[in-house]
Structure 1
Amino acid sequence: MKTQRTRLALLLVMVLALTGVLSACGGGSKQADDGKVTISFLHWRGEDTQTFQKIIDAFEQKNPNIVVDMQTLTSDQYQTTAQAKLTDGSVGDVFASFPGAQFAALAKAGLFTDLTGESFLKNYNANLIEAGSQDGKQWAVPYQLVYNMPIYNKALFEKYGLTPPKDWEGFLKVCQTLKDNGIIPIAFAGGDIGPGQFMNTMVMNNEPSEDIFTKVEAGQAKLTDEFWVKTLTQFKELNDKGFFQPNSLGTKDPAAGALFIQGKAAMLASGSYQLSQNVKQNPELQQGLLAPITVSADQAKYEGVHTSTFMLAVNSRSKHPEEAKKFVEFLSQPDIAAQYANETGQNVTLKDIKYDSKELNIAQEWADKKTVFQPRYTIVNAENQKAVTNSIQAVLGGATPEQAAQDAQAIIDQQIGR
């Protein structure tokens, strides 16, 4: 009998130990002993965590049985590792996705939960959340609205009698006037974000159709066609005329931003997402948005570029999908979205949002202008997207536009043939 009791005791110890191991292995989504469900919120906006934590606290007060565990990665890490982290469902019950290549990859992997028909979708501008739809279904909801266009220093433009130009010749004249007066016309982060951001306004009126890059990836058009060679030629023209700062290819985003914030450069080739952080570093800065028009005024189809990004989604592998949807629904309430927008300096895709900062209203002025969805994000293959932006760097490094386009097309041909 003593031996039997000893065996039972050992068995109990083993069961308890195994239970502890299984508990330790759990992450993200889980059911706690007190009946509370913990869901994981995975995204890349580390700079927004303070605001998101306030929103999470408010959500947990209204939903006392749900705990939200927020985890962030850098944007680079997010694009390379998010899919692997989301696959087993232990992380990212609610997650954010970039549009374009990442959205396409996650959709192909079946990681999105269908949100079509959810009541909270009515809070959004329907035309601004199309980037999260595919095959007639809404898989993700773009939360942020960004205008991927150069920011310009209004005071410097006024000082030299300049206004945002309406055609390519006008843009070149503006740049020349600034250069003649000792001002860098365009601060360009050629070492990281610059090519991917500035290409959007440079190509928007050169491209024959909004789906031209889709056609390129399908083998129905080529980067060696006139639209991209012309775009690369205009990049070369800006570079050859000295309209970027010296060593633009070696310049990272913070350094380019500093040139603009300090008034050494009149334009910053980035986007509206930097308006608020610029003015935090220089409260006297007067900013506006403009886009280079690469054609004659009568040929211009678009005035600028917009992107709807930070696409909220529910992981199809989540063990608590209803709780995850409740959190997305909470983020989709206009008052919560307004709180997020005003505290982080990011415009949002929801309807009837009141912005309380000058910088957010600068971007909001573009809501009624003719803008096209960011061309770069219509490239859904990450290798193809890299080939396109690398061709810009190649031209700035001395390659001819024709050769740079040809080299980029060779990579796309390899991807098509895979």
Structure 2
Amino acid sequence: MPLRTSRSRRARLSVLTAGTASLALLATACGGSGTGSSAAPDNFDYLSVTENTTVKTTLGSLSKGACKTANDALPLKVETVPQASLDQKLQLLAGQDALPVQFAAGNAPALTQQLAKSGKVADLEAKLTELGVRDQLEPAAVSTIKALYGGELQVLPYEYNIEGIFYNKELFEKNGLKVPGTWDELVAAAAKLESKGVQPFSASGQQGWPLTRLISGYLYRSLGPDALQKVADGKAKLTDPEYVKAAEEVAALGEKGYFGKGVGSIDYDTAMNQFLTGEAAMLYMGSWALANISDDEQNKIGAENTGFMPFPAVSGGKGSVDQYPSNVGLGITLASKSFDQKTGDWVSCIAKNYGSTALEDHGSISGFKVNTEVQDANEVTTQVRDTISASKQNVLWFEALFSTKATTLSQQNAAGLVSGSTSPEQFMQTVQDALAAP
């Protein structure tokens, strides 16, 4: 089955890696706690972003198939806006008490939380439970949503990604390597590959986040799943010795040349290509890369030679290897005002059928359970799906709880960290200062 291109996947990922938009909500937009008079909607209105075509296309397929009855009663109607304009559009509609039935949540979780606080977003935990479909959400996806949205289930997981290390099975076998279970074993494997003339890791220093993900991975394994929440809560600082340690470990990989030459100028496509053509043995990436891996034109090493492993454990650490960094893309939520029986019928149908339809038609993994037999493109896709289903507690990424300024500085300075132009202490101090800024 055809899978979406890496470009569309990266457009979705940009929501998570490029920082978030301003949250200057007008008092009129979210004032008070009322939701306005209830009004039965004429359509199942869905406000989407132009950059994401998968959700609206999948909903369109459902409207003609499994959800035709719901659609006949409440026809699907889709409107799109550029992602950069989404927050402003939502604020305007909220101020007019005219939010659509279903809409792409704001670029930052704080916007949706503000709308929910003012009573404009439906209580999805209660609604899904009332409809009897709460169990159709994968526990790992729910864990991720609640970590982002202050412990509340405020969006639906129309997409779901976990992150880990993809590796070249053939190169590992040729060099007598087993899948590393600990950070020390990973470093030792990288050293052996380097000694054999094989570049251990491929990463985009130009984007930065593939490198900072390694820092957060180390932090979660060494300090536990609440490591970065403590920073967000002011209970710890990135400049604390145990946090600087994580930056030191990642910097050491760069110092030893394990990312190859000129990592700071490597863009996303080049990093992906280095791995898929066998130039590098490992690539830290999210499950959106399955689209590239399943594309025979891109993947010259072959999907059958592509493996996936969790970020390894840190000896003596408080974290667990089954706590995968994860995200739900740009979440989708529903307005409280228009959530009536017909809307409920749509939501019930989506919960039961979206997972299968998205996977079968688009090769897209969502946070909904897959209730039909769907033939995966390859073994590694099956492995990732099984991992998602088995996962109970997931963690976030390095910048997930950062301000826009801190996110930008983190990603801009990541290449310097691994190239040696920025020390681990300087890197963490720069980001911490940005977090502390008003």
TM-score interval, normalised by the smaller of the two chains? 0.7 to 0.9
Question: 1:137 and 1:230, CA in 2 relative to 1: closer, same or farther beyond 3 A?
Answer: closer
Matched letter for residue 282 of structure 1: N
* Superposed displacement of residue 130, structure 1: 3.4
* Superposed displacement of residue 345, structure 1: 2.6
1 CA distance for matches of 2:199 and 2:101? 46
Indicate the residue corresponding to 2:174 in structure 1.
159
Question: 1:97 and 1:251, CA in 2 relative to 1: closer, same or farther beyond 3 A?
Answer: farther
Indicate the residue corresponding to 1:113 in structure 2.
122
Q: Does 1:230 align with 2:245?
A: yes
Matched letter for residue 72 of structure 2: P
Question: 1:114 and 1:47, CA in 2 relative to 1: closer, same or farther beyond 3 A?
Answer: closer
2 CA distance for matches of 1:225 and 1:36? 55
Query: Deviations 1:350-403 (Å, cap 9, x if unpaired)?
Result: 346455213431203424468632243651533344444445344135111111
Q: Secondary structure at the match of 2:236?
A: coil
Q: Secondary structure at the match of 1:150?
A: strand
CA contact (8 A) 2:105 2:333 kept: yes
Query: Deviations 1:115-142 (Å, cap 9, x if unpaired)?
Result: 2322222322345313434566532222
Q: Secondary structure at the match of 2:197?
A: coil
RMSD: 3.2
* Superposed displacement of residue 39, structure 1: 1.0
2 CA distance for matches of 1:71 and 1:257? 33
Greater Cα offset, 231-240 or 142-151: 142-151
Indicate the residue corresponding to 1:373 in structure 2.
395
Q: Which ranges of structure 1 fall in alignment gaps of 5 or more residues? A: 1-30
Greater Cα offset, 176-185 or 346-355: 346-355
Alignment of 1:308-327 (within 5 A): 308-310=327-329, 311-316=331-336, 324-327=343-346
Q: Secondary structure at the match of 2:259?
A: coil
Q: Which ranges of structure 2 fall in alignment gaps of 5 or more residues? A: 1-38
Q: Does 1:86 align with 2:86?
A: no
Indicate the residue corresponding to 1:345 in structure 2.
363
Q: Does 1:178 align with 2:178?
A: no
Matched letter for residue 104 of structure 1: A
* Superposed displacement of residue 195, structure 1: 3.3
Question: 1:214 and 1:261, CA in 2 relative to 1: closer, same or farther beyond 3 A?
Answer: same
Alignment of 1:60-99 (within 5 A): 60=68, 62-71=70-79, 78=83, 80-87=84-91, 88=93, 93-97=101-105
Query: Deviations 1:172-198 (Å, cap 9, x if unpaired)?
Result: 121122223332211101222423544
Query: Deviations 1:66-90 (Å, cap 9, x if unpaired)?
Result: 33234556xxx63x43221222156
2:349 to 299, 322, 330: 330
Please say which structure displays the higher CA radius of gyration.
1
CA contact (8 A) 1:259 1:265 kept: yes
**What is the count of residue pairs matched by the alignment?**
373
Indicate the residue corresponding to 1:53 in structure 2.
60
What TM-score does the superposition give when structure 2 sets the normalisation length? 0.74
Matched letter for residue 201 of structure 1: G
* Superposed displacement of residue 404, structure 1: 1.3
1 CA distance for matches of 2:342 and 2:404? 32
* Superposed displacement of residue 260, structure 1: 1.2
Query: Deviations 1:319-365 (Å, cap 9, x if unpaired)?
Result: 676655544332211x3311212333333333464552134312034
Question: 1:116 and 1:336, CA in 2 relative to 1: closer, same or farther beyond 3 A?
Answer: closer
Matched letter for residue 60 of structure 2: Q
Q: Does 1:194 align with 2:218?
A: no
Q: Does 1:301 align with 2:350?
A: no
CA contact (8 A) 2:204 2:268 kept: yes
* Superposed displacement of residue 103, structure 1: 1.6
1 CA distance for matches of 2:193 and 2:100? 48
* Superposed displacement of residue 166, structure 1: 1.9
Query: Deviations 1:281-305 (Å, cap 9, x if unpaired)?
Result: 3372322212443622x54632151
